[in-house]
Amino acid sequence: MANFSPTSLFLAFSIGLAFLFSLGEIFSSPRGEKQNLLAFIFFLVGIFLTHAFLLTCKMIVFFPGLYLTHLPISALMGPFLERYLLLAMGNPPEPKKILYLKTLPALGVLLWMLPFYLSNGPEKIALLQNMQSTGLPLFLKIPVLSTMGVMFTFLFSILFKLFTEVRYCVVYKDARMLTIFGVASFTLFILLYGFFSVLIGSIRGLEGVGSLIGIFLCALYILRQGFPEFFLEVRKVVEEEKKYKASQLNGLDLESIKRNLENLFQNEKVFLKEDLTLGFLASKLEISTHQLSEYLNNEIGKNFFQLLNEHRVEEAKQRIESDPQEVLLSIAYSSGFRSKSTFNDVFRKETGFTPSEYRSKIRKKKSK
């Protein structure tokens, strides 16, 4: 006889939420692999919760063929959840062959359970009734614990890949990364709770795991409603950390480089050197050309030639303003340009005027 407790009713609500999430991803726009993966994951969660609901309210006796069908489904969640989260974090997708290989544990659980699934209903009902006093028999404990082990392995893999890419100080200070860490910790707690419930022979383990997953779904719903761009923001953090770890500037005193660079351009005016190169400037700063190039692009937002031309044009403007009668070719050479054509092209690009137009503009201003 069915027994509808508050827990079973909450599980019924969670089932609806899981399938609703799945439908939402199916009809979401734009479509992509992440949406397909998430729709499939929520669908699997819905099936898992359906099994937990039927067991909790004792309706499983009316559907004995469904008993323990959640095991291969649970094992299947691992590789798909791992693929989704790594894609959401901005990691390149693994080849599909790797994904298929990672589903083999779920296939192994299915093959182990196949004789049980093919047994008749009365045998399963008798087993369910005996479990009240004896707990799960060993031949069923093995696939249950194996499934949890598979889930734990994939979750640990996700955490390892994520938190080896992000420094501890960033995780500790960033609320989004702390949220990810909290969600992962909660999921691990769910797995450990289920694992020890099986070990001690508790028949309420699945009920507790299902309830915790229901709580997780409710929290996820609130998170997605309040922070729809949450995973996009986390992805940005991870991408920034990848750039940081790949950076050749690690360990350098960036403030010292900034001061020395300003001194070279403003006081020593190295840009006036006609044959100035990136290598020469890097040697003056006592860093490599690759480090200087990265510093200019990342910290200043300009490449070497943009920075050089900016200062040369500024020098030429000052010379024109101080002496509008000076020959433009002389100004070009004395500002570091090698030819009149280069001077004209760069000057127009930087100011919107040719040197002649700019000089005429200055003359008119001074004649007033």
295 and 322 assigned to the same domain: yes
pLDDT band at 168 (very low <50, low <70, confident <90, very high): low
Same domain, 151 and 261: no
Q: Are 339 and 357 part of one and the same domain?
A: yes
Q: How confident is the model at residue 112 (pLDDT cuts 50, 70, 90)?
A: very high
Do residue 176 and residue 65 come from a single domain?
A: yes
Going from the C-alpha of 183 to that of each of 159, 342, 355, 360, the distances in angstroms are: 11, 58, 62, 67
Supply 106's token pair. 């779920």
Residues 241 and 260 in one domain: no
Domain end (from 245, 278, 294)? 245
For residues 129-135, give the mean pLDDT: 67
Residue 252 phi, psi dihedral angles, 5° rounding: -90, 150
- pLDDT score for 233: 65
- The amino acid that residue 272 corresponds to is L
Report the pLDDT value the prediction gives residue 84, as an integer from 0 to 100: 82
Confidence of residue 314 (pLDDT cuts 50, 70, 90): very high
Residue 235 sits in the same domain as residue 302: no
Residue 103: CB atoms within 10 A of its CB come to 15
Identity of the residue numbered 254? L
Which pLDDT band holds residue 231 (cuts at 50, 70, 90)?
low
Specify the pLDDT at position 26.
85
Task: Judge if 266 and 298 occupy the same domain.
Answer: yes
Choosing from 245, 274, 309, the residue where a domain stops is 245
Q: How far is CA 226 from CA 32, 69, 222, 229, 263, in A?
A: 23, 35, 6, 9, 49
pLDDT class for 88, splitting at 50, 70, 90?
confident
In terms of DSSP H, where are the helices of the chain? 6-26, 33-56, 70-88, 96-102, 104-118, 121-134, 138-165, 168-173, 175-199, 205-226, 230-246, 254-262, 278-285, 289-295, 304-322, 328-334, 340-351, 355-367
Pair 354, 344: CB distance under 8 Å: yes
pTM of the model: 0.61
Say if residue 217 is in the same domain as residue 68: yes
- Report pLDDT digits (tens) over 142-152: 888 888 888 88
Pick from 228, 245, 262: which residue ends a domain?
245
**246-261 pLDDT, tens digit each:** 667 777 788 888 899 9
Is residue 111 scored above 80 in pLDDT? yes
What is the C-alpha separation between 153 and 307, in angstroms, rounded?
51
Q: What is the CATH number of the domain that holds 109?
A: 1.20.1070
Most confident of 64-68, 158-162, 199-203, 333-337: 333-337
What DSSP line would sit under 164-213, residue for residue?
A: HHS-HHHHHH-HHHHHHHHHHHHHHHHHHHHHHHHHTT-TTHHHHHHHHH
One domain, residues 180 and 78: yes
Residues 318 and 178 in one domain: no
Structure tokens that stand for 172 in this block: 């500790």
Residue 338's domain spans which residues? 254-367
Q: What is the pLDDT of residue 313?
A: 92
**Per the structure, how many domains does the chain have?**
2
337 inside domain: yes
